[in-house]
Amino acid sequence: MATLTMKVARCPTDELSLTNCAVVNDKDLDVTKIKHIKVHPTPNHTYIFTIKSHNAIVPGTVGFSLPQRKWAMLSLNQEIGVMPYKFDPNTQYISSITLEVDFLQKKNTTTEAYNTETMAMEFLMQFPQQAFTQGQQLVFEFQGKKLLGLTIKELEVMDMGSGKPKQARLGITMPNTNVFFEKAENSVVNLTGKAKSKQSFQSIINPDWDFTKMGIGGLDNEFSAIFRRAFASRVFPPEVVEQLGMKHVRGILLFGPPGTGKTLMARQIGKMLNAREPKIINGPQILDKYVGESEANVRKLFLEAEEEEKRCGINSGLHIIIFDEIDAICKSRGSVAGNTGVHDTVVNQLLAKIDGVEQLNNILVIGMTNRKDMIDEALTRPGRLEVQMEIGLPDENGRVQILNIHTATMRENGKLADDVDNLKLAELTKNFSGAEIEGLVRAATSTAMNRLIKASNKVEIDPDAPDRLKVTWADFMNALENDVKPAFGTSATEVSAYVANGIIPWGAPVARILEDGELLAKQVKESERTPLVAVLLEGPPGSGKTALAAQIAKNSDFPFLKICSPENMIGFHESAKCQQIKKIFDDAYKSQLSCVIVDDIERLLDYAPIGPRFSNLVLQALLVLLKKVPPHGRKLLVIATSSRRDVLQDLEMTNVFNARIHAYNLSTGEQLLAALDGMDAFTKKEMEDITKAVDGKRLCIAIKKLQVLVEMARQTEEGERVPKLITLLQEEGGLED
């Protein structure tokens, strides 16, 4: 059967909305033969729906409920491609499905317990042999009680060939499908029963080393790489190494953002090997005010290793010397203006000891720094600090390991409540460093202890406190909200604030912008040829550019999101503004995948039409940064927004962007109705009245302006809201025939 071109319509009845089925007319599709359809809203997106028929549906249209339209980003009267779809019984029958649960309406919450086993049976009865896709949203009516909102979190299908379940994006339910329920984030729904959540377990990546006992989490790959380069040769007997005529690696440089575990890793390296007690030196401790004393301090560090090398030869034990903040003493020679040459001679002395004429083979120098760019280049060549490892921010698996390490003692002693889930905590702590996660656990523990302190004229501790003390999930949430904020994730909340009300899919222009943004994010992730993609999102004021940019950034799921906004630089002089912008980009280079939103770019440039006036210093800084390719292994997506594309063209700035996306205002009555439907601000009768009032008319209004007008109209008495809205549209939006 060929693809049919049909239009999106509303679901005709509330009862059909609860079936999670698309509704068609029998004249278009025979539901006795066709059970499921594939919908093509755009060429790059397809959605599968189970269908039912109803005479109220106009032929040539397909009825979708509001949750379905929001999930698939469908707008009313949008043209879509429709064709039958048949599931493969060998690979698409769902063996288990995990659903996130929350109350559909937040104001109607209750503490009543919901039995998940009963819910699972009811779910399979309400949705028999129905198509489900990961991320899909639907409404679930449980035993005539309150309506629940469900989101498909995870699907597993049975592979009939291997007889084993596997992860899948799409599938169809069967009578024996296992159904699991989990509370949505920040939900207060009370779930009970055995079908409550399906636990996933993290396996240790490298079974040869117990990183948990060593207190190192999230650095498995880095530790393995260091072991391969620096320690593998030390595992073999000295005679074998001598026969190969090789020299051991004598230096490692660990660099990266603060708090990521550089010092911790350096301390544990000595314990991993059969080595002498490591010598830990803070860089500034080397420096001395007397001439020659700084160099003497460096020589003293290597004295024991030299004596043992002379006495024992190849059988000498390993001496580890750890330099914390090595950039303090090893700055590039000649870079410190007006100094007495002390820094230069210290660098020379250190180079001579590591790789001089009388080089030692029983030492391992480990340097740590946040500023690799400041270190003398001679120190990083082979034979010196030749193994250079960046210790970056931990990924989600790493954060789970770090949380397990810092909560292990509490869990063993029964002081950690059962509701604390480290997997969920790892999801919530995106962009946290290891030190910040440790601080989070410490803050949660302090909150739990403070709960058992009696606040009276004097501080008293509850006598039963030691027995009743438990750190709960609420303690961690309190610490997340109030106590610990990640240094590289502070804009996550700010980005979310721009899309707090959601994106309203009022027509094809919105879907196209999000689709293009998704493609650009995918390009940054997967393409090896374009590590930097800069896109200009331009359009009239109030057209939702910043919100769309924030939504694209959130959908990209990049671990680092930052917004460069003029509102954060009010009162900055030009140099300070340039430094702030450069810092944002420098921070972005520390993450493997980053997204930076440069909001309202003409305001950053201090552009004013009278004059005209703009900051050439900021302009040149942006031109350089928008074209600067990130370091190897790093990828960056830059989304810039502007309401004055003509100004950027005059400044020859549009040439630095790889792509341009235009945002539109609402221009037709159909788009207006679609936007109002997405806002869900009016009753069905009011929507019918608005439809009659705007039928066939044209307008030009920004979506942000429309939201303000709708809220103004909603403040009037019932029955007057529609006339008020039409009047406001005529005054503000140019509503005309």
Q: Domain range for residue 326?
A: 211-390
Long-range contacts made by residues 566-572, C-beta under 8 angstroms, separation at least 24? 566/599, 566/600, 566/603, 566/604, 569/604
CB neighbourhood size of 685 (10 A) = 9
- Domain shared by 651 and 730, yes or no: no
Task: Quote the pTM value.
Answer: 0.55
Spell out a b/e string for 362-389, using b for 16 or more CB atoms within 10 Å of the CB, else e. bbbbbbbbeebeebbebbbeeebbbbeb
Identified catalytic residue from 262, 331, 430, 545:
545
Maximum CA pair distance of the chain?
Answer: 99
Segment 343-354 mean pLDDT: 77
Q: Which of 323, 329, 331 is nearest to 374 (CA)?
A: 331
Statement to judge: residues 309 and 251 lie in one domain: yes
* For residue 612, cis peptide bond before it (omega within 30 degrees of 0): yes
Terminal Cα distance for the chain, rounded? 41
Domain-located, residue 202: no
pLDDT classification of 358: cutoffs 50, 70, 90: low
Question: Of the residues 116, 177, 546, 641, which is catalytic?
Answer: 546
Q: Is the pLDDT of residue 211 over 60?
A: no
Residue 207 pLDDT level (bands cut at 50, 70, 90): very low
Domain with residue 123: its CATH number is 3.10.330.10
Report, as an integer, the average pLDDT of 384-388.
82
Q: Which amino acid is at 542?
A: G
- Which of 640, 648, 711, 646 lies closest to 681, judged by CA? 711
Same domain, 681 and 654: no
Looking at residue 451, which CATH number applies to its domain?
1.10.8.60
Q: How many whole angstroms separate alpha carbon 675 and alpha carbon 501? A: 13
Active site residue 545: yes
Q: Please check whether residue 205 lies inside any domain of the structure.
A: no
- Amino acid letter, residue 468: R
pLDDT bin (cut points 50, 70, 90) of residue 652 is: confident
CATH of the domain at 11: 2.40.40.20
Q: Give me 684's structure tokens.
A: 């069905």
Query: Is residue 7 flagged as an active site residue?
Result: no
Q: Is 470 inside a domain boundary?
A: yes
CB 402 within 8 A of CB 436: no
Is 586 annotated as catalytic? no
**250 and 350 inside one domain:** yes
Tens of pLDDT, residue by residue over 131-141, are 999 999 999 98
In this structure, what token pair is assigned to residue 157? 């299908």
**pLDDT, average across residues 470-490:** 80
pLDDT of residue 341: 52
| Residue 432 belongs to a domain | yes
Euclidean distance between CA atoms 649 and 622, whole angstroms: 14
Quick: pLDDT tens for 263-313: 777 767 666 665 567 788 876 777 766 667 777 888 888 888 888 777 666
Nearest to 515 by CA among 501, 495, 535: 535
Cα separation of 331 and 323, whole Å?
13
Burial class (CB within 10 angstroms; exposed 0-12, middle 13-18, buried 19+) of 306: middle
Residue 42 designated active-site: no
Nearest to 431 by CA among 310, 259, 214: 259
* 364 and 260 belong to one structural domain: yes
Contact between 484 and 436 (Cβ < 8 Å):
yes
pLDDT band at 624 (very low <50, low <70, confident <90, very high): very high
Number of independent structural domains in the chain: 6
Final residue before a domain boundary, out of 84, 119, 152: 84
Last residue of a domain, one of 50, 65, 84: 84
Instruction: Report the candidate in 285, 262, 279 with the shortest Cα–Cα distance to residue 369.
Output: 262
3-state helix, strand, coil in the chain (%, to 5): 40, 25, 35
Domain membership of residue 199 (yes or no) is no
635-642 vs 593-598, strand pairing mode? parallel
> Strand pairing of 79-84 and 4-10?
antiparallel
Q: Indicate if 546 belongs to the active site.
A: yes
69-73, 112-116, 601-605, 618-622: range with lowest mean pLDDT: 112-116
Token digits of residue 638: 């830059």
Overall average pLDDT of the 14-40 stretch:
90
Q: Where are the alpha helices (DSSP H) in 530-640?
A: 545-556, 574-588, 601-604, 616-627
Look at residue 23 in the predicted model and tell me its pLDDT. 94
Q: Which of 42, 62, 84 is the last residue of a domain?
A: 84
**CB 194, CB 121: distance < 8 Å:** no
The string of pLDDT tens digits covering residues 233-273 is: 766 656 566 777 777 788 888 888 777 777 777 767 666 66
Are both 577 and 635 inside the same structural domain?
Answer: yes
Asked whether the beta carbons of 216 and 137 are under 8 A apart, the reply is: no
Query: Active site includes 380?
Result: no
**CA-only gyration radius of the chain, Å:** 31
Question: Most confidently modeled of 355-359, 489-493, 535-539?
Answer: 535-539
649: buried, middle or exposed (CB in 10 Å: 19+, 13-18, 0-12)?
A: exposed
In tens, the pLDDT along 671-690 reads 888 888 888 888 888 888 88
Average pLDDT over every residue of 196-204: 41
The answer to whether residue 582 is domain-embedded is yes
Distance CA 172, CA 49 (A): 10
CB 432 within 8 A of CB 261: no
Q: Is residue 287 part of a domain?
A: yes
Same domain, 498 and 552: yes
Catalytic residue (choose from 599, 635, 677, 705): 599
Which three-class secondary structure state does DSSP give residue 528? coil
Say if residue 380 is in the same domain as residue 422. no
Q: Are residues 413 and 345 in the same domain?
A: no
CATH of the domain at 619: 3.40.50.300
Element of type H or E holding 169: none
Is the pLDDT at 93 greater than 50, yes or no? yes
- Cα distance between residue 672 and residue 666, in whole Å: 6
Spatial contact of 182 and 99, defined as CB atoms under 8 Å apart: yes
What are 681-723's pLDDT values in tens digits? 888 888 888 888 888 777 888 888 888 888 888 888 888 888 8
Within 10 Å of residue 28's Cβ, how many Cβ atoms?
A: 20
Tell whether the model's pLDDT for residue 49 goes beyond 90. Answer: yes
List residues bridging with 63 in a β-sheet. 9, 23
User: How many other β-carbons are positioned within 10 Å of the β-carbon of residue 33?
Assistant: 8
Number of residues assigned to the chain: 737
Task: Indicate whether 167 belongs to any domain.
Answer: yes
241 HSE (CA, 13 A, CB side): 17
Tell me the C-alpha distance between 558 and 548, whole Å.
16
Same domain, 464 and 528: no
Find out whether 605 and 614 touch, Cβ atoms under 8 Å: yes
User: In terms of domains, do 375 and 507 share one?
Assistant: no
Is 359 in the same domain as 403?
no
The partner residues of 564 in beta bridges, in order of sequence, read 598
Catalytic pick from 324, 600, 606, 677?
600
Q: Which is catalytic among the residues 627, 680, 695, 727? A: 627
